Amino acid sequence: MSNTSAIKTIRKGQRTTRLVVLLALLSAGSIAGMLLSDGLWDVIFFLLATLPLIFGAWQAYALRTTSIKKPARKLEK
Amino acid sequence: MQANSQRSRWFRLNIWLHRWTSLVATLPFLVLCLTGTVLIFHEEIDDALGVVPVSQGTADSQHHALAIGVAKAQAAFPNDRVLSVGLDPDHHPGVQLIVTAPKGDTSFDNAQLRFADLATGELLGELDPAKTLTGFLLELHAEWFLGPIGELIGALIALLVLISLLSGLVVYAPYVKRIAFGVLRRGRGTRLLQLDMHNFIGAVVLGWALVVTLTGFLLGFGTVAIGIWQMTELGHLREFAERMEPVNANQPPVDVDRALAAAQSAAAPGWHVQSVIFPGTDFSTPRHYTVLLGGSEGLDERMFGVVIIDAATGEVALVPKVPIYLKAIAVSEPLHFGDYGGLSLKILWTICTWLTLFITANGAWLWWDRRRRRAPKSVGAEA
């Protein structure tokens, strides 16, 4: 692997980890937010709390079709 | 070079932590997930099984004095004393909750929960939580049938799971350098698919799992925290009350209705009386009622306040501040059980619990499969 592609891979990993942490914090904060709020905010916080599940399901669905086209070597562990 | 070596050591430490904290916690955590799933719907299950007596009157029926219900309970069970009287219009509309124990008892350990109709004062029935399905499961979930020691064991399991989650995140970071978030490698063998599912599901439930685990850890210290409060804040009041004439705990000069009214007058706007604990219990002094208040909306709904009422004069003796550690534990309960946002939140809790149940089991399988694969290559060696 060249230096450039190695750096790209590391950055991609860092981005994904940051995204996972951000979604987790958003979800945890929203679960707490629901306890503090009523009305419309309750609905907004509920949707934010479910965001990791919804985003994950969407991502898994989207990449399922991609991986059929490219059972790429890149994805191998 | 040195930085790389440190990173590698840090990664290996987290792999080790993730593996062993998860494996140690696997079986108890599976039990917690299964019982937790049922407990999310404890209200619906109790209603369906009809284990909680309900009032025959309407919600608008005029309330009789609480003292009538107390007197009827004392007449019906002359060998018992009343420990506390409670009101819970959300869960038990039109019903007065009366907690009794054998005469002479000051603790709630052998307490019996009885119900009286608020409109008539007539006794409606009683409930032994340990004999209901949800009560049995709660005792298993929260205490492992071991009382306060079991609660601490629960806190330890929560701590292990918390370490597993955080170390799992560290282990996850290098994994996603090569595997995009959401990719599940199908057709490449069971192990790779299970590994991808473990990492992917772990990532999507991480936020929820952190909340439930952290609150579970705090709830494990519930009895300890109450004990500290009894020894400190209540202890100081008890020392002060020892210099005063005690009242007859079975028939205090000031009845429960006057105590309730006095506490309500001292309550902040929007706060109402939830429970009146009689004098001479582990949560009151021989001279005073301890009245617990609850808020009506937002965070206040999950908090509680305390007002101490002199049972001889009916005056407000003290309005102590609730310590921060008790507030943290009070807030932890709804955040742990997810019972504060209606059915939609309960469904979210159930989905997340089952997903967590799955990754717990499949994580253990991944470890076992790895050992199994390595075994023939290094017979007798530690995996």
User: Bridge partners of B324?
Assistant: none
CB contact under 8 A, B182 and A63: yes
Q: How far apart are CA A33 and CA A26, in angstroms?
A: 10
**B302 in contact with chain A, both atoms CB, cutoff 8 A:** yes
Q: Is B377 helix (H, G, I), strand (E, B) or coil?
A: coil
Task: Write out pLDDT tens, residues A13-55.
Answer: 678 889 999 999 999 999 999 988 888 999 999 999 999 999 9
* Non-local CB neighbours of B198 within 8 Å, separated by 6+ positions: B359, B362, B363, B366
Q: Which residues of B touch A71 (CB under 8 A)?
A: 187-188
The angle at the Cα of B215, spanning B89 to B351, to the nearest 5 degrees, equals 80
Closest residue of chain B to A13, computed from CA coordinates: B177
Residue A2 has pLDDT above 90, yes or no: no
CB contact under 8 A, B208 and A31: yes
Q: How far apart are CA B316 and CA B246, in angstroms?
A: 16
Q: What is the dihedral of CA B191, B195, B198, B200, to 10 degrees?
A: -130
Q: How far apart are CA B275 and CA A59, in angstroms?
A: 49
Q: Contact, B264 vs B289, CB < 8 A?
A: no
CA distances from A59 to A51, B182, B192, B371 (A): 12, 5, 18, 32
Residue B7 has pLDDT above 80, yes or no: no
pLDDT of amino acid B62: 57
Q: Contact, B214 vs B208, CB < 8 A?
A: no
Candidate from B298, B345, B351 with C-beta closest to A53: B351
Residues B324-336, buried b or exposed e (16+ Cβ, 10 A)? eebbebbbbebbb
CB contact under 8 A, B174 and A49: no
Q: How far apart are CA B139 and CA B35, in angstroms?
A: 10
pLDDT of amino acid A5: 64
Task: Write out pLDDT tens, residues B198-219.
Answer: 999 999 999 999 999 999 999 9
pLDDT of amino acid B382: 41
Q: How far apart are CA B326 and CA B81, in angstroms?
A: 28
In terms of Cβ atoms closer than 10 Å to its own Cβ (0-12, 13-18, 19+), residue A11 is exposed
- Tokens 């955080």 — which residue? B166
CA distances from A24 to A28, A55, B14, B355 (A): 6, 12, 19, 15
Q: Contact, B157 vs B132, CB < 8 A?
A: no
Count other C-beta atoms under 10 Å from residue B171's C-beta.
19
Q: Which residues of A touch B182 (CB under 8 A)?
A: 56, 59-60, 62-63
CA distances from B240 to A76, B32, B162, B172 (A): 72, 43, 42, 57
Q: Is the dihedral of CA B356, B362, B367, B368 positive or negative?
A: positive
pLDDT of amino acid B243: 87
Diameter of chain B measured on Cα atoms: 82
CB contact under 8 A, A23 and B184: no
CA distances from B155 to A19, B95, B289, B307, B366 (A): 29, 34, 32, 30, 26
Distance from the Cα of B130 to chain A's closest Cα (Å) equals 29
Residue B134: its H or E element: helix B133-143
Contact map slice: B 174-193 vs A, CB within 8 A:
174-188, 192
Candidate from B180, B207, B334 with C-beta closest to A35: B334
Q: Which residues of A touch B178 (CB under 8 A)?
A: 9, 13, 74-77
Q: Which residues of B touch A60 (CB under 8 A)?
A: 182-184, 200
Q: Contact, B277 vs B311, CB < 8 A?
A: no
**A48 in contact with chain B, both atoms CB, cutoff 8 A:** no
Candidates A49, A38, A50; CA nearest to B302 is A38
Task: Write out pLDDT tens, residues B161-192.
Answer: 999 999 999 998 888 877 888 888 888 889 99
User: Bridge partners of B84?
Assistant: B99, B277
Reported confidence tier of residue B376, pLDDT bands at 50, 70, 90? low
Q: How far apart are CA B222 and CA B138, in angstroms?
A: 14
Q: How far apart are CA B116 and CA B86, in angstroms?
A: 10
pLDDT of amino acid B222: 93
Residue B111 has pLDDT above 50, yes or no: yes
CA B97 to chain centre: 20
**A60 in contact with chain B, both atoms CB, cutoff 8 A:** yes
Amino acid at B346: K
**A22 in contact with chain B, both atoms CB, cutoff 8 A:** no
Amino acid at B333: E
CA B212 to chain centre: 11
ipTM of the complex: 0.83
Reported confidence tier of residue B97, pLDDT bands at 50, 70, 90? very high
Q: Which residue has the higher pLDDT, B180 or B292?
A: B292
Candidate from A13, A24, A35 with C-beta closest to B176: A13
Q: Is B116 helix (H, G, I), strand (E, B) or coil?
A: strand
Candidates B258, B259, B294, B300; CA nearest to B277 is B259
Residue B73 has pLDDT above 70, yes or no: yes
Candidate from B204, B335, B344 with C-beta closest to A46: B344
Q: How far apart are CA B350 and CA B34, in angstroms?
A: 10
CB contact under 8 A, B182 and A53: no
Q: How far apart are CA B105 and CA B281, in angstroms?
A: 8
Residue B144 has pLDDT above 50, yes or no: yes
